[in-house]
Amino acid sequence: MHALLTGSTDGIGRAAAFHISRTGAVKTLVLHGRSADKVSSLAKELREGGPCNVELKIVLGDYSSLESVVELAEEVASVCPELNCVINNAGVLVDYHSLTKDGHEMTLGVNHVAPVVLTLKLLPLLERNKPSRLINVASMAHLYVGMSMAYKDEATGKTIRDGSPLTSIDFSKVNPKVSADFNPYFQYSLSKLGNVFFTTELERRMRLPENCERFKGVVVNCLHPGVIDTKLFNVLSHRLGSSFTPSAVDSGIITIMHLLTSEEGGLVSGRYFNEEGRIAAANAIAENREEMQKFWQVTVTMWAEAFVDGRYKSLNAL
């Protein structure tokens, strides 16, 4: 297999890079980073610090700019035309209001919109080189979307607060332009719902009668890696407050490796896996076609805003 690993320079991605290269779990490993220094020194460590049983390549891209994400996809296609696996792992939890270069709230832009754009740009490659695997690192946080903010359910007129199951999302609030409307938990859990939603939506579109032959052998799944001691978790625990006790970073790669190397990982598609590598129930809202159509529309609008020159249109191939 020839795999791209995004966000390889820290935390779970870095641990996965070490494991994959030491065990030779793939033939080519394309390491993605946003910092040239960081990703080069990772590649050096992998090559010189122990047995390196993969061919390593390096690509750069900053997810806070969709222009950079498109260039990243083009670079991946050029350095690894055999690509047949993408591990979408890069992510952030930003605890202050900030915007990407395209004017999107940072956490949602980096965690949801950027990987959607990257994946859709790489999909023709995955189709050509099938069998192919697409692995999206989501989070159990997606189960809690909406729980950290009061929310009015239009159907019942009731205000839903912490702990209540969410039946719909007010999509006018998902991309706050000013800090008064910003809630870091909501943005993070929504972005992770985005990962689950994109998994189920892509699966649905790939299996439509007009697409199913093309995408036979292309699978897409998402996962929760566990609560893992990384800099992203530190934002949650130290600055935002969390009662979770994190596990060591190496345990965060169990399900990634399962989906990358197991027979099941090549057969099952459209599912959410827990940190033990087992299929688990995702947020029911991810199965709500009406709500998810709205989410898709918001996502499309966000990338459309970024590509005023019309380049986004090629992303809508499915």
Please give the residue ranges that form the binding site for ligand NAP (CB under 6 A): 7, 9-13, 33-35, 38, 62-64, 89-92, 110, 137, 139, 224-225, 227-228, 230-233, 246
| Smallest gap from residue 245 Cβ to ligand NAP (A) | 11
Smallest distance from ligand NAP to CB 178, Å: 21
**Residue number, 8 or 129, with CB nearest to ligand NAP:** 8
Query: From the CB of residue 74, how many other CB atoms can be counted at a distance below 10 Å?
Result: 14
- Least distance from ligand NAP to the Cβ atom of residue 64, Å: 4
Q: How far is the CB of 35 from ligand NAP (least distance, A)?
A: 5
Residue 230 or 269 having the CB closest to ligand NAP: 230
CB nearer to ligand NAP: pick between 83 and 110: 110
Per the CB < 8 A criterion, the answer to whether 34 and 62 are in contact is yes
Q: Choose between 133 and 224: whose C-beta lies nearer to ligand NAP.
A: 224
Query: From the CB of 88, what's the least distance to ligand NAP, in Å?
Result: 8
Q: Residue 150 burial (CB < 10 Å; 0-12/13-18/19+)? A: exposed
Q: Judged by CB, which is closer to ligand NAP: 77, or 217?
A: 77
